[in-house]
Amino acid sequence: MRVTIAEVARRARVSKTTVSRVLNNKGDVDAATAIRVREVIAATGYTPSAGAVGLARGRTQTVGMLVPGLTWPWMGDVLQGVSDVLEARGYGLLLHTVNRGEQSLTQFQRHVSANAFDGLLLVEPPDTLSYITSLHEGGLPVVMIDDRGHHPGFPSVATSNDKGAADAAAHLLTLGRTRLAMVTGPAAFGCTRDRTAGFHGAAANAFDPALTAEGDFTRDGGQAAIEELLAKNVEFDGVFAHNDLMAVGVLDGLRAAGRTVPDDVAVIGFDDISIAEHTQPALTTVRQPSREMGEAAATMLLAHLAGETPPEEPLVVPTSLVIRESAPAV
């Protein structure tokens, strides 16, 4: 019993063409006619069928989004940013997860081939960069939310990993700390390289590369890393962890070893996930602007769909230092 454009046309005593015109404000329509059509539309509650419009126009007004999984703490923020922008612009959001590996990708591929969306937003699932690149080269508008420092060959949104890490180092120096340690992410990640370089550069002599341990971005990995550092028996009074989850492990490891934070050792994390303000002591951290990155990526993709040429360089949304108790203000 769905009302169609034909029904509206019949009731308004005009052609479907005319109804379509007033619907899309395209071409001139006699004022009185337009009013009559609008009245019928209002009275019937008519809404054009998304599927039919999409088929006729060759555009779905829908954007696909591909993410590795939904359980990372900051993923919800990214999604929220994306969702807000798309919704405000009348676009739908078709969400895809790569939680089941190959199978997931096959399903996703099917949706791509089926032209189910006009453009793609993504946070890169493991080992899919070349696949995504091929989609982009095949003509699909793509914008990547680059949390790994990949600097891909297509439009992307990133954050200031280097600057954020430098800010962390600078803050530790301000606190008078002179022997700084670092717990990094996996060496293969671009963001690990960027954060390491930024920290190293700003900390200068206060940082001894020997006081570096590689973690895996998990809490347990962070704890293991700090234990490794403590076992070296080299003094340090400040630690920068490449993400908050590891920083939580660092905090626990330090406590277990009898060190007080921040008195003995100041600790700074990266991300500002919701846990950060609830640790003991509350964690000072470099805030990653997840939501803003989502908004920026969606905005960029829509501009691309509207015909604008996307920027060559990654769009960088800056980090900001959030000062809490684990590395307090001076």
Partner DNA sequence: CTGAAAGCGCTTACAG
Give the interface with a copy of itself as residue ranges (CB under 8 A). 2, 45, 47-55, 60, 62, 69-73, 75-77, 79-80, 83-84, 87-88, 90, 92-97, 99-100, 103-104, 107, 110-111, 113-116, 219, 248, 252, 274-275, 278-280
Report if residue 126 touches DNA, rule: CB under 7 A.
no
Binding residue for DNA (CB under 7 A) from 35, 43, 56, 234?
Answer: 56
Site map 13..42 versus DNA, x via CB under 7 A: xxxxxxxxx-xx-xxxxx--xx--------
Query: Which option in a copy of itself, DNA, none does residue 79 bind, with CB closer than 5 to 8 A by kind?
Result: a copy of itself
Q: Cβ of 165: how many Cβ atoms within 10 Å?
A: 28
CB of 55 to a copy of itself, least distance (A): 5
d(CA 185, CA 239): 14
**Which of the stretches 52-60, 156-164, 246-254, 314-322 binds DNA when contact is defined by CB under 7 A?**
52-60
Pick from 6, 43, 231, 256 the residue near DNA by CB under 7 A. Answer: 6
Residue 266: contacted member of DNA, a copy of itself, none (CB under 5 to 8 Å, by partner type): none
Tell me 274's DSSP state.
G
Q: What is the DSSP letter of 70?
A: S
Q: Which of 35, 43, 52, 256 binds DNA (CB under 7 A)?
A: 52
Sign of CA dihedral 196, 197, 200, 202: negative
Q: Give the number of other Cβ atoms within 10 Å of residue 60's Cβ.
A: 21
13 vs 100, beta carbon nearer DNA: 13
Q: What burial class does residue 168 get, using C-beta atoms within 10 Å of its C-beta: 0-12 exposed, 13-18 middle, 19+ buried? A: buried
Binding partner of residue 193 among a copy of itself, DNA, none, CB cut-off 5 to 8 Å per kind:
none
Output 90 or 209, the one with its CB closest to a copy of itself: 90
Q: Where are the alpha helices (DSSP H) in the chain?
A: 5-12, 16-24, 31-44, 50-57, 75-88, 102-113, 129-137, 161-174, 190-203, 219-231, 244-256, 290-305
In this structure, what are the phi and psi dihedrals at residue 213, rounded to the nearest 5 degrees?
-135, 140
Integer Cα distance of 182 and 167 in angstroms: 14
Q: Which is nearer to DNA, 29 or 95 (CB)?
A: 29
CA distances 258 to 97, 178, 183, 230, Å, are: 42, 20, 19, 11
Q: Select from 35, 39, 43, 57 the one that contacts DNA (CB under 7 A).
A: 57
Question: For binding to DNA (CB under 7 A), which residues are involved?
Answer: 2, 4-6, 13-21, 23-24, 26-30, 33-34, 46, 48-49, 52-53, 55-58
